[in-house]
Amino acid sequence: MGVINTAAAFENIGKAGFLDIEVDADLDLFAEIERLKQEKNAVVLAHYYQEPDIQDVADYIGDSLGLAQQAQRTEADIIVFAGVHFMAETAKILNPSKKVLLPDLKAGCSLSDSAPPALFKLFKEKYPDHLVISYINCSAGIKALSDIICTSSNAQKIVESLPADQPIIFAPDKNLGAYINKQTGRNMVLWNGACMVHEMFSLEKINRLKVRHPQAKVIAHPECEEAVLRIADTIGSTTQLLKYTEKSEFNEFIVVTETGILHQMQKNSPHKTFIPAPPNNSCACNDCPHMKLNTLEKLYLCLEYEQPELVMDEEIRIAAKRPIERMLEISAQYGL
Ligand code: 13P
Ligand code: SF4
């Protein structure tokens, strides 16, 4: 980090995705970020998969639904989104007049990338009588082609809010879609997308962990494959899993989602034990390479220089706004 001067860093931002400016190693980044937030009336929204330091400086940490709701109600002038691109995009769609910053513009999402809008448009044309429900982990282009957006915490309620005989296309996550089909008895047409992180968990290694920790409860995110979900004691969004561990009478959990969430779990239940589920490779835990592109240094720099900023096409923004608002309306009706 920090190889070029400020002017060159600004010029290079499109290529690098972030401001590559050297940060003084003695700077108290926590204090500096707090100062800048006050001075600029900025808010830091962070997802649970962010590194612990970022979670600790955030004004709000949450799952995708909570983050969208916070983005909708914030009165800050600047939103720093410590998450991935589609999350910052959602904040911008809801707040066109606010400045939305993302510490690293290259923080993408494999699931979102699995649904290119041009291909999805052709797919949708094959099912003219179907409504489209899209998981929030998709680009604004896909949102603009959708009728309602959902997240992992409200997907079931959103599907159930539609008449039982309403044909539905569910995109882009086939695992979440299959799970919701199973829960609701529907037969939604599924787009063939998946999250690289959640597809990588090893059923065999989780089963071995279960043998070593017979008291542990397996808690899993619905982006995991069906075989993993079948052995889970509870399934839910990151916030739902976190709440489950807080309220549970059990003390040990095998956590089958991205490891960032363990920071809040351990913080909120210091006497309980959290074991990250291992992926299908030589690593012991499973980090999202996109989420982990953001760092505390990049967050500080983007707040200081107000770059990189998320900008978007106004036509797509307007088309993508209605399905997000529908999700927020239905969620409010159910008290979510
Ligand atoms: P939630 O936090 O909404 O459960 O989503 C998980 C995820 O994969 C975000 O990228
Ligand atoms: Fe996308 Fe998966 Fe990373 Fe979430 S964890 S941002 S769904 S790649």
What pLDDT score was predicted for residue 182?
Answer: 98
- One CATH from 3.40.50.10800, 3.90.1150.10, 3.30.10.20, 3.40.1000.10 for 111-195+321-333: 3.40.50.10800
Tell me which of 175, 180, 223, 288 to substitute to probe ligand 1's pocket, judged by most ligand atoms within 8 Å of the beta carbon.
Answer: 223
What pLDDT score was predicted for residue 7?
Answer: 86
Q: Please tell me if the CB atom of residue 55 comes closer than 6 angstroms to any atom of ligand 1.
A: no
Q: Is 195 helix (H, G, I), strand (E, B) or coil?
A: coil
Q: Is 131 helix (H, G, I), strand (E, B) or coil?
A: strand
What pLDDT score was predicted for residue 234?
Answer: 98
CATH topology of domain 6-107+290-313: Rossmann fold (3.40.50)
Nearest-CA residue for atom 4 of ligand 2: 109
Nearest-CA residue for atom 1 of ligand 2: 109
- Cα–Cα distance, 310 to 290 (Å, whole number): 16
Between helix 64-73 and helix 85-94 the angle, nearest 10°, is: 30
Neighbours of 32 (CB within 10 A): 17
> Tokens 């309403």 appear where?
166
What pLDDT score was predicted for residue 3?
Answer: 60
What pLDDT score was predicted for residue 164?
Answer: 96
pLDDT digits (tens, 9 = 90+) for 19-69: 999 999 999 999 999 999 999 999 999 999 999 999 999 999 999 999 999
Ligand positioned closest to the Cα atom of 220:
1
**Contact status, residue 137 vs residue 173, Cβ threshold 8 Å:** yes
For the chain, which ranges sit under pLDDT 50?
A: none
Between helix 238-247 and helix 261-268 the angle, nearest 10°, is: 20
110 Cα to the center of ligand 2, angstroms:
6
**Is CATH 3.40.50.10800 the right assignment for the domain spanning 203-276?**
yes
- Cα–Cα distance, 244 to 47 (Å, whole number): 18
Q: Please tell me if the CB atom of residue 237 comes closer than 6 angstroms to any atom of ligand 1.
A: yes
What pLDDT score was predicted for residue 185?
Answer: 98
Q: pTM for the complete prediction?
A: 0.96
> Which two tokens mark 167?
């044909």
Where in the chain are all domains bearing CATH 3.40.50.10800? 6-107+290-313, 111-195+321-333, 203-276
Terminal Cα-to-Cα distance of the chain (whole angstroms): 41
What pLDDT score was predicted for residue 283?
Answer: 77
Cα 53 off chain centre by: 18
